[in-house]
Chains A and B, each alone.
Chain A
Amino acid sequence: MYQYNEVDQALVKQRVAQFRDQTRRFLDGKLTEDQFRPLRLMNGLYLQTHAPMLRIAIPYGLLSSEQLRMLAQITREYDKGYAHFTTRQNIQLNWPALERVPDILADLASVQMHAIQTSGNCIRNVTSDPLAGIAADELEDPRPYCEIIRQWSTLHPEFAFLPRKFKIAVSGASSDRAATQVHDIGLHLVQSSQGETGFEVLVGGGLGRTPVIGQVIRPFLEKKHLLSYLEAILRVYNRLGRRDNKYRARIKITVRETGLDKFRELVEAEWTRIRGSMEVEVERYEEMQAYFSMPAYKEAVEPHQALQRNQNQDAGFATWLRYNTTEHKVPGYSAVYLSLKAPDVPPGDITESQLDTVATLADRYSFGQVRTTHRQNLVLADVRQSELFDLWQKLVSLNLATPNIGTLTDIICCPGLDFCSLANAGSIEIAAEINKVFDDIDYLQDLGDIKINISGCMNGCGHQSVGHIGILGVDKKGVEWYQITLGGSSHNEAAIGKRLGPAVSKAKLVDTLSKILHVYTENRTTDEPFLDTMNRIGIQPFKERVYANH
């Protein structure tokens, strides 16, 4: 993984000093709340319902065991002993004290971490594929490009006060595991007809109140022009994006109101002017790629025999193997998902002792690295198949082996009313309720790939609009109601879910889900996933069943 040099280290240290000074001036009354707000947000700090919330950046979701241990220590020392992984591969603390945040940042800087641009109207932490570098369907590892984008966007002097937040995701595989189509800029590594690798550039995707699928602004961008093209898009957006209404300020609205063709024309004009002075040299890419070279894999050792024996011995292991591991491009290795969706735990939450033990497991089984995923789980990416049984046993005792990856209970969920001052309704309790009712593992496995996404308000941090089943909390005269959408997806076939009908009450929500699932199981053909059935039969049969007695 990328290792800081002196420049990187100096930069995060100086940012800590700058933020310490800003916090002090705020506490001394020399910065007003209105002045401090954008400054603290640019450092991931929200003032929330109960306490400040600090969002820490995990660039493209990659963590070392040393960094995990520091996160464990920070949650112990400054918080309540747990933390929460987000849909953008970051991690959040829910209970830090404002005056101690600079100390947290200093501790983070000591392990090459920071909270820079994890919130605010600036370029956010760049996200990517949690299976980067190991996926069989990958054209090229996206992480070297992510790191180059991270550096370019970090404390970019021109783009710190954009009309609104700005999110970039990069995917190098044919299967889009980074939700690139719902980002402000989505980058896909693709091959030109001449066999040259470059980027397909999407612009104007986004979730929130007005979910939009990104559109192709440039089908093929030569690698050397990566940063100049991004800079051109950002400059045009910074000048053109609306400042009069924050709900119309994202680039998706700019592109819609300007028209994609006109927007492209403006970007390309700016790009043509600046691209000569901003080329990324081949050597720079090579230097970066060296940081992400393959670890020292061992020869495969009769993996199939050992695995088969273990599976025959233990049905629980066999089930876990099927749902929580995935193929690796190197024979004899698997990638392992650590489920942060145990039935009794808020989705994405992890305790300090789990963080510490995961660090130990990463050292023992996976070259000392862990990845975070868009769906709020963790991945040990390089596990020898011969060690899967050992690892599974340890994960079971850690409560990180719930075999539900990709099933109904692998729920994306925002913190909701319990923690967030923006929320209209609870979301964690809905996830808990779903877990309580749908607790039959055989039924979940029979249902197969169903993605439920829950947000406690229309800002959409839980990505409800791209859930196969999306659940959105709304406030009706002080009572929590839930609006349901069906058929959304952030994968290759990206789509915004269609609204089922009027919102349902909290008491009826799980019953409504049962009805939706019944319509699916009654109508599916053999092995047909939920999304395909929904797309084939349409939303009407679901509507009819759910609202039959209304």
Chain B
Amino acid sequence: MQIIKHAKIVSDHWTHVADGPIPSEGCISVSFARWKDQRTELLSRVDALGLRVSSEDPIEEVADDLDRFQMIGLDFPVFTDGRLFSVARTLRDQYGYQGEIRAMGGFIRDQIFFLSRVGVNSFEMEEGSDLHGALSALDDFSVNYQVSSDGR
């Protein structure tokens, strides 16, 4: 599928694995719970690993593991649940996470600008979304009162 990454529409190569079997090859993301459960097994994989975090997951518990993940997906239960905005900020500012932080799940286009300011740099919207419209949301504002996670 297509996603927005680094302010461009690109093809995505990640497979988000739910509870089922884990494919032996390719980039996969797992849930927070699965990572806690199968950490050793997952670490033996060669291909890139991603972590999906939801609002209630205690990211503090994986702080030392963050460099294992090429991608952290912030999986919004509903768009009005703003906890993941602070999680993104904490990942970037407190833990210094440099990889991809992806918004996924229930977020909406009207949040893209704010998400980009707290450290999110890719956006996976539901199938059929207007990605060009979403891309333009990155330019909703040219001025800000706050400094973003990446110092803009």
Contact = CB atoms under 8 A, between A and B. Distances in A.
Interface string B82-106: 1101110110011000000000000
B55 to A, nearest CB: 7
A223 interface: no
Interface in A151-175: 151-152, 154-163
Interface stretch (A10-18, A90-98, A386-394): A10-18
B85 A22 contact: no
A207 to B, nearest CB: 23
A7 interface: yes
Contacts of A154: 145
A70 B116 CA distance: 35
A121 B87 CA distance: 18
A39 B146 contact: no
B117 A7 contact: no
A243 B143 contact: no
B112 to A, nearest CB: 11
Interface string A1-36: 000000100110011001000100000000100010
B110 interface: yes
B108 A158 contact: no
Given A7-B143, A152-B145, A158 B83 contact: no
Interface string A130-167: 00000000000000000000011011111111110000
Given A18-B140, A157-B114, A239 B145 contact: no
Contacts of B81: 161, 243
Contacts of A163: 82
B114 to A, nearest CB: 4
Contacts of A238: 82-83, 85-86
B144 interface: yes
A152 B83 contact: no
A239 B93 contact: no
Contacts of A274: 93
Interface residues of A, number: 30
A235 interface: yes
B142 interface: yes
Contact of A161 (B80, B93, B113): B80
A235 B89 contact: yes
Given A157-B85, A158-B86, A243-B55, A14 B142 contact: yes
Contact of B83 (A18, A38, A121, A239): A239
Contact of A156 (B90, B142, B143, B146): B146
Given A157-B113, A157-B117, A35 B143 contact: no
B141 A239 contact: no
Name the residue in A15, A154, A158 with the highest tally of chain B Cβ atoms < 10 Å from its Cβ: A158
B148 interface: yes
A476 interface: no
Contact of A155 (B55, B108, B144): B144
A545 interface: no
Contacts of A39: 110
Contact of A14 (B110, B118, B141): B141
Given A38-B80, A238-B83, A273-B94, A151 B145 contact: yes
B14 interface: no
Contact of A160 (B82, B89, B108): B82
Nearest to B108: A35
Given A39-B110, A155-B141, A274-B93, A161 B82 contact: yes
A155 B113 CA distance: 10
Nearest to B77: A243
A158 B85 contact: yes
Given A157-B114, A159-B82, A235-B86, 10 more contacts: A35-B79, A152-B146, A157-B113, A158-B82, A158-B89, A158-B114, A161-B82, A235-B89, A235-B90, A243-B83
11 contacts: A11-B143, A18-B140, A155-B114, A156-B146, A157-B114, A157-B144, A157-B146, A157-B148, A160-B82, A160-B85, A161-B111
Interface of B: 55, 79-83, 85-87, 89-90, 93-94, 108, 110-111, 113-115, 117-118, 140-146, 148
Interface of A: 7, 10-11, 14-15, 18, 22, 31, 35, 38-39, 121, 151-152, 154-163, 235, 238-239, 243, 273-274
